[in-house]
Chain A
Amino acid sequence: MRPVRLSVVTATAAVAALTAVTGCAEKSDAKAGDGAVQVTAADDSCEVSKKEFPAGHVELAVENKGTKITEVYLLFPDDRIVTERENIGPGTKAKITAEVKAGSYEIACKPGMKGDGIRQKVTVTGGTAAAKRSPEMDAAVAAYRKYVQTQADETLPKVKVFTDAVRAGDLEAAKKAYAPSRIGWERTEPVAESFGDIDPKVDVRADGLETGQKWTGWHRLEKELWQDKKLGPDAKALANALDKDLADWQQRVGKAEITPTSMANGAKELLDEVAAGKVTGEEERYSHTDLVDFKGNVEGAQHSYELLKPVASKNDPALVTELDKRFAALNKLLDTYRDGPDSYEFTSYEKVGKAERKELSDGVNALAEPLSKLAAAVVK
């Protein structure tokens, strides 16, 4: 779906990091919070002021004393990213924050923004932050976790209809089953993308490939079906791999780390997905089924939002009013491209003209802007 690199960033926000990743430049006299961990990055070193700190809100105060642009990561032992900040120029400072649970982690500085970086092992002790969550929030998270699992459970059989058709060499049946097989994935994409390794296998587009990476997944088959108009020799293997990789997703999705903040950010990211890929027609460039994905993204965002609404409406009632209005308006607009009220057959994006695309884009902007404030309304 999107370039691999972006998926990794998404992982940070959606899952591991319990709050948004917010690296930002700081004034030198700004007090880095009392418990901040000073990270001094140079071209050949990565020094941390303490190797043990308490769980909860963790702040890394990074200073790049080297000559190269660097990036700094906080990583789980398995290299899953907790949070990260790129593009820290020589002589500059940046602040990275995250909610971190107790456990073992590594801080990595990557001078030149390449390679595995220079690592420091750190230990996070105790556990405070996670415990503070209200029962209301816990309920929202639990409900969302269930939703994500259900989406995966319901997607697998739909994918099998698609892959069976591919294996049978039935082009028409495969084309028909293609877009429906993607809806559950599109609804919960930020969570799916948090497993950095699955998204690049199933949802990468040709332009998102890294050098040497083999192109697999939905979009490879999309190209064969619509552009090449015939299935290549690898088609069966690609279908098998798609089944397998998505089964992996189904297995792991329940274990994803989900927080109210990641839900809110995930909702906004789904709209980002629409803005970046769907509204431009890049996502489904061969099948032109972009509006199906579009709808899936909006539904997924709305589901997160509805679950967070009880909390958000206490903290920011005006925002909730605004979001209700904007979701309704965008759904209404999407309905004009829909075959029937509950149908997932949408107008081919090829047939959506420039003026209509702009109208859709305006609708996305109108929703995404207030949606970007949801995370703050949830944590307030």
Chain B
Amino acid sequence: MPFDDSTDDTTPDEKPDKEHDAKTAPTPPSRRALLGWGGAGLALGAAAAGGAMAAVRDGDTAAPAAESGAAVPFHGRHQAGIATDVQDRLHFAAFDVTTEDRAELVQLLKDWTRAAERMTAGHAVGEGAYGGLPEAPPDDTGEALGLKPSRLTLTVGFGPGLFAKERFGLAERRPAALVELPKFPGDNLDPARGGGDLCVQACADDPQVAVHAIRNLARIGFGKVAVRWSQLGFGKTSSTTPGAQTPRNLFGFKDGTSNIAGTDTAALDKHVWVSEADGPGWLAGGSYLVARRISMRIETWDRTSLQEQEDVFGRDKGEGAAVGKAREHDKPNLKAMLPTSHVRLAHPDSHHGARMLRRGYSFTDGTDGLGRLDAGLFFLAYQRDVRDAFIPVQRSLARSDALNEYIQHVGSAVFAIPPGVRDKDDWWGRALIS
């Protein structure tokens, strides 16, 4: 499953329109315009010449939903960033809560919520990035000025540590399903790349927008939380939009073609959202997230014969069809695959129908000092109960998956994902903490 990430892309007409700049954007958020990877000088120049920016960032109207690079609504029954069509880029951060003061934690979650409302709508944090008191550092760090909202979503989760006894008085509210993951065979987990009391998943079509969001939330959090680890993802490996091209992972394969579609409310209710009956009540409408940093032995894989590569996955490399099938989305015949093949082991039919909504991203953190890519898959999967989904599936994969020769799990974390923020008065975790 870890590798089973697949699916489609946003439809072409939803691609952010890079030509659509701040000046022509009528009212609403448009932060594109100025910044490519060109750098600050360029941005400054554009900003200086523009004047449009102020109007744009001050405007408070929501973007037309259909507009390219538009905003994804922040408020709702569920948090955005789960069933939302998968964006191109990721910045994921896990935090340790450093304060021992419950009131400070509450204030932080409120401050984060308000900042997230602004950033996801394409606005700068607080009083903005310029124009304030010259003696004070600006509230917003500024690198997203002139960029569109880029479908930024910010999704918050609560790790097991938050519910520890004698900490914030939340021990009784810890969900039974928020279990520490067992150690799986082959795991080589680095504690500095796993765990965390809180997490924020920032997804956007523009990497600078995602990084800006995490940076500003971290800044707001200084003194209350500290970043424990973070991960950039440069390319999505899954999609929640069925019917389009399935993104490939760094091994060159389409994978996870049977991901849950963001529009499939029945499947979401069955496999992703925690129900009232599941409990606890504060989590209804929420979910659970498993994050795994999976290192890929790129160079070794690249020397592997095509036949073996296809056998390992259980599908062909070109089309992505399961063994013996013609098309990617043809229903696989699991028995036709080797018992150790990845698709067979990960398939819901091998796990009493267990499914997860996968939202993983490829990452490359440069090279490893031995001349090899430090790359892999940052696996993210949302599910209704990890005990019925990730844990049994990963147990089976860890034991038998032929892919294990080429991968290693090096980071791991699990979080309870609270339901969505309902409105301007609501905040992340209100039902849990207040």
Report the stretch among B4-12, B218-226, B314-322, B342-350 that lies at the interface: B218-226
* Contact yes or no, A25 B136, CB < 8 A: no
* Contact yes or no, B135 A25, CB < 8 A: no
* Contact yes or no, B98 A29, CB < 8 A: no
Q: Does A362 contact B (CB under 8 A)?
A: yes
Are A375 and B98 also in contact (CB < 8 A) when A92-B41, A369-B223 are?
no
How would residues 74 to 88 of chain B score, 1 for a CB under 8 Å from any chain A CB and 0 otherwise?
Answer: 000000000000000
Q: Does B42 contact A (CB under 8 A)?
A: yes
Q: Does B369 contact A (CB under 8 A)?
A: no
* Contact yes or no, B50 A27, CB < 8 A: yes
* Contact yes or no, A69 B41, CB < 8 A: yes
Are A93 and B48 also in contact (CB < 8 A) when A87-B41, A365-B226 are?
yes
How many residue pairs at the A-B interface have CB separations less than 8 Å?
Answer: 85
* Contact yes or no, B41 A379, CB < 8 A: no
Are A30 and B135 also in contact (CB < 8 A) when A25-B44, A362-B226, A366-B222 are?
no
* Contact yes or no, A30 B223, CB < 8 A: no
Most chain A CB neighbours (cut-off 10 Å) among B43, B53, B98, B133: B133
* Contact yes or no, A89 B44, CB < 8 A: yes
* Contact yes or no, B222 A365, CB < 8 A: yes
Residues of B close to A376: CB separation below 8 A:
133, 135-136
* Contact yes or no, B49 A28, CB < 8 A: yes
Q: Does A373 contact B (CB under 8 A)?
A: yes
* Contact yes or no, A89 B45, CB < 8 A: yes
Q: Does A19 contact B (CB under 8 A)?
A: yes
> In the complex, what distance in Å separates the CA atom of A326 from the CA atom of B45?
38
Q: Does B134 contact A (CB under 8 A)?
A: yes
Q: Does A261 contact B (CB under 8 A)?
A: yes
Q: Does B353 contact A (CB under 8 A)?
A: no
Give the shortest distance, in Å, between B136 (CB) and chain A (any CB): 3
* Contact yes or no, A25 B222, CB < 8 A: no
Task: State the main secondary structure of chain A at its contact with B.
Answer: mixed
Q: Does B279 contact A (CB under 8 A)?
A: no
Residues of B close to A322: CB separation below 8 A:
223
Q: Does A94 contact B (CB under 8 A)?
A: yes
Q: Does B51 contact A (CB under 8 A)?
A: yes
Q: Does A370 contact B (CB under 8 A)?
A: yes
Q: Does A20 contact B (CB under 8 A)?
A: yes
> In the complex, what distance in Å separates the CA atom of A322 from the CA atom of B108?
14
Are A27 and B133 also in contact (CB < 8 A) when A365-B226, A370-B223 are?
no
> In the complex, what distance in Å separates the CA atom of A379 from the CA atom of B192?
42
Closest to B132 in A: A376
How would residues 207 to 249 of chain A score, 1 for a CB under 8 Å from any chain B CB and 0 otherwise?
Answer: 0000000000000000000000000000000000000000000
Give the shortest distance, in Å, between B223 (CB) and chain A (any CB): 4
Interface residues of B in 131-164 (CB under 8 A from A): 133-137
Are A372 and B137 also in contact (CB < 8 A) when A27-B50, A30-B51, A91-B45 are?
yes
Closest to A375 in B: B135
How would residues 67 to 98 of chain A score, 1 for a CB under 8 Å from any chain B CB and 0 otherwise?
Answer: 00100000000000000000111111110010
Give the shortest distance, in Å, between A275 (CB) and chain B (any CB): 12
Q: Does A154 contact B (CB under 8 A)?
A: no
Closest to B145 in A: A25
Closest to B54 in A: A27
> In the complex, what distance in Å separates the CA atom of A9 from the CA atom of B192?
36
Give the shortest distance, in Å, between B349 (CB) and chain A (any CB): 44
Q: Does A38 contact B (CB under 8 A)?
A: no
> In the complex, what distance in Å separates the CA atom of A118 from the CA atom of B222?
43
Q: Does A356 contact B (CB under 8 A)?
A: no
Give the shortest distance, in Å, between A106 (CB) and chain B (any CB): 22
Q: Does B184 contact A (CB under 8 A)?
A: no
Residues of B close to A19: CB separation below 8 A:
134-135
Are A366 and B98 also in contact (CB < 8 A) when A26-B48, A89-B42, A89-B45 are?
yes
How would residues 354 to 376 of chain A score, 1 for a CB under 8 Å from any chain B CB and 0 otherwise?
Answer: 10001000100111111011011
Q: Does A347 contact B (CB under 8 A)?
A: no
Closest to A98 in B: B134
Give the shortest distance, in Å, between A308 (CB) and chain B (any CB): 12
> In the complex, what distance in Å separates the CA atom of A375 from the CA atom of B137?
9
Q: Does B373 contact A (CB under 8 A)?
A: no
Q: Does A143 contact B (CB under 8 A)?
A: no
Give the shortest distance, in Å, between B202 (CB) and chain A (any CB): 20
Residues of B close to A379: CB separation below 8 A:
133, 135
Interface residue from B41, B45, B130 paired with A24 (Cβ < 8 Å): B130
Closest to B226 in A: A362
Closest to B41 in A: A89
* Contact yes or no, B223 A326, CB < 8 A: yes
Give the shortest distance, in Å, between B1 (CB) and chain A (any CB): 32
Residues of B close to A97: CB separation below 8 A:
134
> In the complex, what distance in Å separates the CA atom of A93 from the CA atom of B49?
8
Q: Does B177 contact A (CB under 8 A)?
A: no
Closest 10 CB pairs of A and B: A376-B136, A366-B223, A89-B41, A362-B226, A369-B222, A92-B45, A93-B48, A25-B44, A22-B134, A27-B51
Q: Mind listing 13 A-B residue pairs with CB under 8 Å?
A: A22-B134, A22-B135, A25-B48, A27-B54, A28-B48, A89-B42, A91-B49, A93-B48, A264-B135, A362-B226, A366-B226, A376-B133, A380-B133
User: Which residues of A are in contact with B by a Cβ distance under 8 Å?
Assistant: 19-20, 22, 24-30, 69, 87-94, 97, 261, 264, 322, 326, 354, 358, 362, 365-370, 372-373, 375-376, 378-380
